[in-house]
Structure 1
Amino acid sequence: MFITSKKRRRVVYIASESLAKISARLPSNRGRAVLVHGLASSLGLLANLAGTRDAAHEEHDVDDLAEDEDSESGGDESTSIRVLRPELAAEDDLLSFHDTDLVERLLSGQDAEPNDAGYGLEDDCAPFPGMREYVLAVAGASLAAARELVEGRADVSICWDGGRHHAHKSRVSGFCYVNDCVLAILALRRLRPPPHPPATTGPSISRPKLERARVMYLDLDLHYGDGVAGAFCGPNRAKSSNVLTLSIHHAARGFFPLAPCTPDLLSSEPTHAASGAGPLATEDDPYSLTIPLHAGASARTYAAIWPGVEAVAHAFVPHAVVVQCGVDALAGDPCAVGNWCLGGEGGLGWCIRRVIDEWGCKVLLLGGGGYNSPNAARAWAYLTSIAKGEPLSLETHIPDHAAFPAYAPSFTLDVPAGNARDQNDEAYVQRLADELGNAAEVLRSRGAGV
């Protein structure tokens, strides 16, 4: 863990014309998916998009696939991105997490029904034309990405149409009609953990047999990943766990959704909205961590807390990490709360590069929030280039393509910080860093990485 690998990285990118069109129907992000995949393609990141493979016809043996890729690359350490067209999810896939009644309602194809409020199908999650196809497509896309990792065909999987982290087991919420994040985590638990190396000196050590892989979920969205955290935490959790969730998000009174604790902007002490010890509630459940941030969170704040994030990961030792890369915390988003940027130490790209290059585990990158669609496309194209191992310059000019006018006025890849003040002062950030360190110690004391 935390060793940069020299091995050629295998990256898969989940995309298809039909997936983009279906995802673009989502009322909260209408048209965004077409921009996202269009920009990535126009930048040359998806060279084989026209020859996209269908997940239903991936019959390669893992060793044969590796040999094919090595022969295509000439045996060097460069990385190419393989584009994979996903299948629609099956109803049973949704039922691995969601309740039967909710799944039946989502797949019914009806525009409106009398009991919709009970499922959360109102207001920001009202039924919409194509909802059935959307749910099946997004779930199928994230599951396809996870299965590429599980079956050994990829080291990094990318699914920008996924990341719908607010949906709960029995109701939809916050623009999220299906929790593809949870479905992907459940699939990744079937990863085969690598065997422990034999002891070279001293008596042999008897280790417990691992039946499921350890999966870490890291949520970078502006909003708390409540649906994912709720799926894996609770009073009945065992003393150890193979799923750890960590959400870094804005928190304030009245801000969606209600987080385990909300910082009082007028005080250094948090106001608790639920039981817990300190901002992270680590004593109650060190496997369900939250990092609540004040308004204006900038790269400076993320850089200051990141060593603590890595300490938690180092203590947990995940076999796979799922990163929800929501981009509504970036400057310029209509939410107008965060002041994060793409570049520089502590920027979104810097964080993702460290996860991919240094954490030494399988990585699944998902999309999420982001309501300035051109900026979402910029950010995810940049992260795609990082996954490829060839980060684009943030001064890269947007290529001439159908959506070119949407990138005015800069017509470059960068999403810089704005002028908002970072209200996370040094004392508060240090407190968060200390709590993360405490969480890492608790995890180590429980033998989380054994």
Structure 2
Amino acid sequence: MGDVPQRRVTYVVSNELAHASSLLPSNPKRSAVVHSLVKAYGLLDSTKNSNLRVVAPVAATHKDLCVYHDGDFVDALLATDASKHETDALFGLEDDCPRFPNLARYVSLVSGGTLTAAHALRDGFADVAIAWDGGRHHAQKARAAGFCYANDCILSIMALRKLGRVLYIDLDLHFADAVAAAFPFSPSSNVLVLSLHHAGPGFYPAVPSGSSSTLPLLAGASTTTFARIWNEGLELVCKAFKPDAVVVQCGADGLAGDPCNVWNWSLGGSGGMGDIVSRVLDWRIPTLLLGGGGYSSANTARAWTYLTSIALGSPLDLESHIPDHVFFPLFAPSFTLDVAPGNARDENWRNDSHQLEEIVRGLQALAGSMASRQESS
């Protein structure tokens, strides 16, 4: 058996993108922190990574955004001044999604960055494409929501459908509500949305019952929980669906140490974020990796740097020391790459909880019905 060929990786970034994305009120400077750490580890050096192509985003146009979003909403997003408009309340441009300086450029570059990555896969230039500034999964057709102004996740799925069946896996702490609503599952669907997320009274967003897309986890979810869901259910569904392209939203707000303080997930070990993404990449199917939530900029940078190294085929040592660079002080007190779990109890394993069993049984039933349909077709 010969060596497995190295994956061709496209990484989307530019100074303008990092600057625009760092202005996002919910994640100030995060983009700069992320890309600086990736660069500090030498991962963007094409002389060291011959399989890497670093490309600048092609800004999304009004027409690009209207592939999903309503035209009037796009007009409001692309208005070039930061002052309040009469339609802002109608379009959700207030509260958690306020106007901010350079909003129009932010929307164009972030959505364009994800589309640039998706097109690299669609057009055969890459096996894996990375757009860490994307992953904005709450934005609706005509309304901003949940810190998300335009839904690049949906735009990327629509672009990748040229390849055939698209599997969307969302690892964010919050339910991918707008993506699930845009692609409701049916036996003839060529898009499958699977969202691992937290759900509870008052937790954003509200989660509909009876959806095959929603896989709700209780507080303290750890690598043990993710390993069981993947091994006993999720991977079975993915294989039964037989996707031609995969989109993974790698929200980091479920990691230990995030200010959301709900899950207790970590990067390493079986069932860790790195392990889940690595298993997806092992399918050797065109894969788009997107960002998402993550409100500890340092831990989000750790996570997406580690995932970048996995995509390049040379996973970094999680015990490695953070290289000296402009944001080095943010990585105190450990100054290592790892995001280690805390001491929170994983409520998914309580004796009186049947949450895991229900999720696994539901996934197994979904996988079985998909397999039966394919056999009879």
TM-score scaled by length of structure 1 = 0.80
- Matched residues in 2 for 1:424 and 1:226: separation? 22
- Number of residues of Structure 1 aligned to a counterpart in Structure 2: 372
- Matched residues in 2 for 1:449 and 1:7: separation? 35
Given candidates 405, 425, 434, the residue that maps to 2:349 is: 425
Counterparts in 2 of 1:343-362, with a 5 A limit?
343-357=268-282, 359-362=283-286
Q: CA deviation at 1:101?
A: 0.9
Question: Are the counterparts in 1 of residues 217 and 355 from structure 2 also a CA contact under 8 Å?
Answer: no
Matched, 1:156 2:128: yes
Question: Are the counterparts in 2 of residues 298 and 341 from structure 1 also a CA contact under 8 Å?
Answer: yes
Query: 5+ residue gaps in structure 1?
Result: 49-71, 192-212, 262-275, 283-288
Given candidates 226, 229, 248, the residue that maps to 2:180 is: 229
In structure 1, what is the equivalent of residue 64 of structure 2?
93
Matched, 1:26 2:24: yes
Question: Are the counterparts in 1 of residues 266 and 341 from structure 2 also a CA contact under 8 Å?
Answer: yes
User: Aligned residues: percent identity?
Assistant: 54
In structure 2, what is the equivalent of residue 45 of structure 1?
43
Deviation readout 1:168-216 (Å, 9 max, x if unpaired): 111010000000001111110112xxxxxxxxxxxxxxxxxxxxx0000
Question: Are the counterparts in 1 of residues 122 and 162 from structure 2 also a CA contact under 8 Å?
Answer: yes
Q: CA deviation at 1:8?
A: 2.0
- Matched residues in 1 for 2:139 and 2:124: separation? 29
In structure 2, what is the equivalent of residue 381 of structure 1?
305
Question: Are the counterparts in 1 of residues 127 and 284 from structure 2 also a CA contact under 8 Å?
Answer: no
Deviation readout 1:76-131 (Å, 9 max, x if unpaired): xx863211111111110000000011001111124211221111111000111111
TM-score scaled by length of structure 2 = 0.95
In structure 1, what is the equivalent of residue 113 of structure 2?
141
Query: 5+ residue gaps in structure 2?
Result: none
In structure 2, what is the equivalent of residue 251 of structure 1?
199
The verdict on how the C-alpha distance between 1:397 and 1:175 changes in structure 2, with shifts beyond 3 A counting, is same
Amino acid at match of 2:199: A
Given candidates 436, 439, 443, the residue that maps to 2:363 is: 436
Question: Are the counterparts in 2 of residues 79 and 389 from structure 1 also a CA contact under 8 Å?
Answer: no
Matched, 1:181 2:153: yes
Question: Are the counterparts in 1 of residues 245 and 286 from structure 2 also a CA contact under 8 Å?
Answer: yes
- Matched residues in 1 for 2:375 and 2:238: separation? 10
Amino acid at match of 1:26: L
The verdict on how the C-alpha distance between 1:369 and 1:5 changes in structure 2, with shifts beyond 3 A counting, is farther
Counterparts in 2 of 1:276-295, with a 5 A limit?
276=210, 281-282=211-212, 289-295=213-219
Given candidates 393, 396, 416, the residue that maps to 2:340 is: 416
In structure 1, what is the equivalent of residue 224 of structure 2?
300
Counterparts in 2 of 1:264-279, with a 5 A limit?
276=210
Q: CA deviation at 1:444?
A: 2.1
Amino acid at match of 1:441: G
In structure 2, what is the equivalent of residue 115 of structure 1?
87
Amino acid at match of 1:98: H
In structure 2, what is the equivalent of residue 366 of structure 1?
290
- Matched residues in 2 for 1:154 and 1:252: separation? 39
Question: Are the counterparts in 2 of residues 12 and 82 from structure 1 also a CA contact under 8 Å?
Answer: yes
Q: CA deviation at 1:239?
A: 3.9
Amino acid at match of 2:373: R
Question: Are the counterparts in 2 of residues 323 and 365 from structure 1 also a CA contact under 8 Å?
Answer: yes
- Between structure 1 and structure 2, the one with the greater Rg is 1
In structure 2, what is the equivalent of residue 51 of structure 1?
none
Amino acid at match of 2:226: Y
Given candidates 12, 15, 19, the residue that maps to 1:14 is: 12
Q: Provide the secondary structure at the position in 2 that maps to 1:118.
A: coil
Question: Are the counterparts in 2 of residues 317 and 449 from structure 1 also a CA contact under 8 Å?
Answer: no
